[in-house]
A and B are shown apart, each in its own frame.
Chain A
């Protein structure tokens, strides 16, 4: 037995001190209480007023005790379930657990056959979802694009309808408006076997995005209300740009983003106390020569670490960002920017890290970047898992048995641990030169492309119920009718 013995499970990473976090936390409370936000939704303003907020026309200011009450209601740990009951595909959100997945809504896509950049199509959705389903280090699904070849109001609905049958990993679903949200929810509820069954085991998370600085738009709030009333786990994530739509300093953008997200938190907890709520958002710099939000900037990782630590300090999970790049192609820049942000995100334990597979500053989704990052995530996870120290792993006896000039290859101890202690790459090449040359002298990018094509040729996700397929058809047909009528 050991007494007074402390164990570090995994690598320890901490950027901000308790004092600094307390200061950031109080900064957020101050903004919410004294500046407040514009809330462009009359019903929501009524609910917030009822909850104790000070409503002055569009402007809503929330006293800090109301915010603290909402924080206390939201769970830190919860599970988003695989639709097919496969426990390996469940996502358990909680301290020390970093999960990864793609992002939504890129206008362009790297074609899987030709590797050419072109608009994102409906037919890309199932391929992305199947790749997500197959990759071992990708935990949840988004589509990497906005479907361009359907009616312009139905992209999000077609996207969910394409993802849901092609992966049993939890989906993070965005939508244009409440109509989309309803359609999406009908599909998930059909598979779950009813609203109650869905509430017990939710299979997707609803994603809403308010506007920076300090505006809760009608659509974002309307979708939030839908999610809260149907007890759908919720992400409320702004996308402030330092120097443009948020303060230029990392501390300042963290404070503003948290205030924007927590307006959603207070509203959601007022409607549905205890609703799983994931704080956002995506924080990065405006590149002052290119006028873009830089997805490969080191400040993205720093700001995301800051907002992650603040979320955890406040007792909330966070919607992290990483595995993305400003590069236009699957090259060294893409590998550096993607891998470093993946590693940094893994160190923070940010709960759901999205945008894996974004290239060209979120203008183009790439399933090849996603596959390359799957390798980087595996690599990062081996590092963050750290080192176990106990009597068996110390191996003092084994060292004694083998002695000078012996070897460990035959030891039971070696056989017991070599598969779990060592990380085995899928894409990184460790062959000798001759074998590598014989196999076609492939670059990392070639191997990433090859892996995606292999997985798509061989991997079959589990099927959805036949009745759910019918619901999908009906939901899409009804949506087509609706847009026809409104035109």
Chain B
């Protein structure tokens, strides 16, 4: 790995957004390919973040700073990636299901997925099944992620999956679920493709579901 990409990776790991943006710009100026910058600089850094978090060596506030640095760098890199027709790892449509106003956990999943190299479409909270269906049609995602924090709104996940089936879109997407009251057993019962217990686990699951 070149020195500049290694420094970029370190700036992501350290959550230093200013340096990350500066190094992305410098890498582009030096003529490095957008995909190389993404894969060998930024995603390498985020992968290390995930590994450290899983080991208990990094904590959520630090992970978020890294995700922010990743996100700032990506803003600069995205037009270049589009120009060279580089496909991201895939697209994830995310939302907190109908009746549930909890936003944070799902946003963390979004940031981690973005950090892992996904394009993320965040639908926000209190998202009705129809809005998920519209988004699938519009963005053609590989993945749909749903979140609920309340035992009372968990049921809306099953209802949303059913609605996606009825719209004939179930075989177009993989579905993953998460949220405090959700577990693997519930995920299986409502016919989801996977469950992530936290934001890092969710981005790992996303990568696994798209076969990366």
The chain A residues found within 8 Å of chain B, CB to CB, are 405, 407, 409-410, 414-415, 418-419, 432-435
* Inter-chain contact A407/B61, CB cutoff 8 Å: no
**A435-B197 contact given A405-B101, A405-B103, CB 8 Å threshold:** yes
Consensus secondary structure, chain B interface: helix
Residues of A within 8 A of B104 (CB): 407, 409
**A409-B64 contact given A432-B197, A434-B183, A434-B184, CB 8 Å threshold:** yes
Q: Does B65 contact A (CB under 8 A)?
A: yes
* Inter-chain contact A415/B61, CB cutoff 8 Å: yes
CB distance from B34 to the nearest CB of A (A): 27
Q: Does B68 contact A (CB under 8 A)?
A: yes
Lowest 9 A-B CB distances belong to which pairs?
A: A407-B104, A432-B197, A415-B61, A414-B61, A409-B64, A410-B64, A409-B61, A434-B184, A418-B61
* Inter-chain contact A434/B61, CB cutoff 8 Å: no
8 A-B contact pairs sorted by A residue (CB < 8 Å): A407-B103, A407-B107, A409-B61, A414-B61, A419-B59, A432-B183, A434-B183, A435-B197
CB distance from A430 to the nearest CB of B (A): 10
Docked CA distance A434–B61 (Å): 24
Give the A-B contact count at a CB cut-off of 8 A: 28
* Inter-chain contact B103/A410, CB cutoff 8 Å: no
Residues of B within 8 A of A405 (CB): 101, 103
CB distance from B62 to the nearest CB of A (A): 8
* Inter-chain contact B61/A410, CB cutoff 8 Å: yes
Docked CA distance A432–B101 (Å): 24
CB distance from A438 to the nearest CB of B (A): 11
CB distance from B116 to the nearest CB of A (A): 19
Most buried by A among B61, B101, B104, B197: B61
Residues of A within 8 A of B103 (CB): 405, 407
1/0 per residue, CB under 8 A from A, across B90-113: the answer is: 000000000001011001100000
A407's nearest neighbour on chain B, judged by CB, is B104
* Inter-chain contact A410/B68, CB cutoff 8 Å: yes
Residues of B within 8 A of A434 (CB): 183-184, 197
A410's nearest neighbour on chain B, judged by CB, is B64
CB distance from A428 to the nearest CB of B (A): 13
**Interface set, chain B 41-83, CB cutoff 8 A to A:** 59-62, 64-65, 68
**Interface set, chain B 151-202, CB cutoff 8 A to A:** 183-184, 197
Docked CA distance A458–B196 (Å): 33
Docked CA distance A419–B60 (Å): 11
Docked CA distance A432–B68 (Å): 26
